Each structure stands twice: as C-alpha cells, then as structure tokens.
Structure 1
Amino acid sequence: MTASHSELLQLKNLGMASVNILRAVGINTHADLKRTGAVEAYRRIRARDINVSKVMLYALQGALMNVHWNDIPPDLKARLVSEAEMPDQNDLNKVTA
C-alpha cells in the first residue's frame, strides 16, 4: 500500500474500494481531494462510467468535513446533488461552439 493510499484511507467514509476509484480518476491524496472537491470528484467518477450512488458523493463530502456521510445535513446533501447534476460548463461550451 502506498503512502497516498494510507492517507486517503484515514479519511472518514473512505475504504479501499473508494480509494481505488479515486485513484482511477487522478485523486491520490487528501490534498487532491480537497483541491478537486466532492462534486467534481463525483463527476469524474461518473464520467468514467463507474457505477456509484449518491452515497459516494456524500461520502466524499463527509471525508472533507471529517464527518460520517449520514451526518451531513439534508440541505447540504440536496445542494451537492444539485451541483453534481448540473451540466458541466465544458460540456455546455461544446454544445454552443
């Protein structure tokens, strides 16, 4: 196990499967996740056709907040889902170009 694996595994909500998924989308450290944010990380995962539920989105946010994903307030969960489901600005630019 690499140091970055170990670092990500120390975060709440993230197990080996989640860490492997994050690594597959280029997120290898806590700093990478923090810089990318939960919504963008979730979008990258979905863009790779990796089948994950919204719980993964909540788990990522919880990892950043150091709380269990189930303790994230419902209004924040709703906002995360809304942001995650918004069309990516790059996709909009492709359509209008």
Structure 2
Amino acid sequence: MHMLASAGIESEAQLRELGAVAAYAAVQRAGFKPSLNLLWAIEGALSNRHWQDVAHDDRLDLLLALDHFLGHTN
C-alpha cells in the first residue's frame, strides 16, 4: 500500500513489528490524512479478519490505544 510505503513501512515484518496503531500513526506523520478505516484494515490484516469485523469488535480498544500512543490526555 502506497501510504504504508511512504511512511517507511515496506514489509509485512515491519508492519507486524509496529502493530496497527503505530503504523497508522506513522502514516499520519508521513503527511497523509487517513480515515479510521485504515486503522481497522491494518488490524484486520494483522489478525486475519475483515476490517468491518475489526471496526465492530475492536473499535474502542484501538481508538483508546491510538489516543494513548499519540499522547492525548482527557
């Protein structure tokens, strides 16, 4: 995927090492404005699930992890 490669993620091994949240954040830092569907899709690819299943089942956990990763506080 072009966005991942532009963020310096060029292999499945790199993607697995980073995980979905860090990979999504790397895409943002690379200057893209990805929708959350990318986060669901990355997690789906890593866990061998359809992105819609991820969005339904893991949405809150992933959003909280992203918020924590980015250093946002409420």
Per the shorter chain, which TM-score range? 0.7 to 0.9
Q: Which runs of 5+ in 2 are unaligned?
A: none
Residues 87 and 63 of structure 1: CA distance in aligned 2, closer, same or farther (over 3 Å): closer
How many matched pairs? Answer: 71
Secondary structure in 2 aligned to 1:86? helix
Residues 70 and 26 of structure 1: CA distance in aligned 2, closer, same or farther (over 3 Å): same
1:7-26 equivalence runs, <5 A: 19-26=1-8
Name the structure 1 match of 2:24: 42
Secondary structure in 1 aligned to 2:64? helix
What's the C-alpha RMSD, in Å, of the aligned pairs? 1.7
Identity of aligned residues (%): 31
**What is the deviation of 1:88?**
3.6
Q: Which runs of 5+ in 1 are unaligned?
A: 1-18, 90-97
Name the structure 1 match of 2:38: 56
Secondary structure in 1 aligned to 2:16? helix
What TM-score comes out, normalization by structure 2 length?
Answer: 0.83
Name the structure 1 match of 2:52: 70
What TM-score comes out, normalization by structure 1 length?
Answer: 0.65
Residues 73 and 55 of structure 1: CA distance in aligned 2, closer, same or farther (over 3 Å): closer
